[in-house]
Amino acid sequence: MRAIIFANGVLKNIHDIHDIILPEDLIIAADGGTTHCQALGIKPSFVVGDLDSLNPDYLDFLQAWGTEIISYPANKDLTDLELSIRKAIELGCDEILVLGALGARWDMTIANLLLPALSDFSKVTIRLIDGHQEVILLRGKGELTFKGKKGDILSLVPVGEDAEGVALQGLEYPLEDDVLKFAATRGISNVLLEDTATVYLKKGLLLCIHIRKHKD
């Protein structure tokens, strides 16, 4: 099962959002993410958070419509987005698309980018969508194939430690059993040679940022 989570960050290409959502997707709003749902005319099945960013009138509307409101105290240890991801996993979702996770605040943006690296989330695929950019975490030992267009950018950022045993196929700058060092910029701005490219990783964590140059 797939979940779409609306976070409270910047939501780009808002008119394309309806093309992303499938009828069977579970829709969750992380507190202020309800603002995006309201603007798009999307009614979430769940609202999760401390409700400090939620319009009271819209909350009344959602409750009347049948949305389940899961409220937490303001003084909590987890962000609304992390709580929403945990709820999606609890409900059986194995793929989660997060919209509006980036751009509003640097602290939240960095925390949201690192959330997929949490060991509790190792069994679920989490994709952060930001307009024509998509961020997904690759764990070693593993591989990911990216489908896009020739000329798309694919950047690779090691998280927490060096990424070892990196191999790249279908990219302008290929690698074979190489190392991308943590905090170095060697993996930035590679380019797809065709419509697909594959990244292989033996050990570590890689944030993979796919920037689509052409609209699908």
Quickly list DSSP for 107-131: HHHHHHHHGGGSGGGTTSEEEEEET
Q: Among residues 136, 140, 125, 137, which one has the least CA distance to residue 177?
A: 140
Inter-CA distances, 18 with 48, 134, 163, Å: 21, 16, 36
Smallest CA-to-CA distance from 152 within 194, 192, 209 is with 192
Q: Per-residue pLDDT averaged across 96-114, rounded?
A: 94
Instruction: Return the CATH superfamily for domain 137-211.
Output: Thiamin pyrophosphokinase, thiamin-binding domain (2.60.120.320)
Q: Is the pLDDT of residue 59 over 60?
A: yes
Instruction: Return the number of other C-beta atoms located less than 10 Å from residue 190's C-beta.
Output: 21
Answer whether residue 176 shows pLDDT above 70.
yes
| pTM attached to this predicted model | 0.93
What pLDDT is stored for residue 213 in this prediction? 84
Per-residue pLDDT, averaged over 132-136, amounts to 95
Average pLDDT score over residue span 118-144:
96
Using 50, 70 and 90 to split pLDDT, how confident is the model at 56?
A: confident
Q: According to the model, what pLDDT value does residue 82 have?
A: 97
* Alpha helices by DSSP H, the chain: 17-20, 34-40, 56-65, 80-90, 106-114
pLDDT number for residue 215:
56
User: To the nearest whole number, what is the mean pLDDT of the chain?
Assistant: 94
Report pLDDT for 216.
Answer: 47
pLDDT value at residue 119? 95
**Residue 161, phi-psi category: left (phi > 0), alpha (psi -120 to 50), beta (remainder):** beta
pLDDT at residue 87 greater than cutoff 90 = yes
- Where do the structural domains in the chain lie, given as residue ranges? 2-131, 137-211
| CATH superfamily name and code, 2-131 | Thiamin pyrophosphokinase, catalytic domain (3.40.50.10240)
Structure confidence at residue 13 (pLDDT): 79
Separation CA 207–CA 19 (nearest Å): 25
Q: Name the token pair of 115.
A: 């959330």
Q: By CB neighbour count within 10 A (0-12 exposed, 13-18 middle, 19+ buried), where does 207 fall?
A: buried
The model's confidence at residue 214, banded by pLDDT at 50, 70 and 90, is low
- Cα–Cα distance measured from residue 54 to residue 73, given in angstroms and rounded to the nearest whole number: 14
Report the percent of the chain where pLDDT is more than 90: 84
Residues 40-48 have a mean pLDDT of: 95
Q: What are the strands of the beta sheet with 163-169, ordered from one edge?
A: 142-147, 196-201, 163-169, 175-180
How confident is the model at residue 104, as a pLDDT?
81
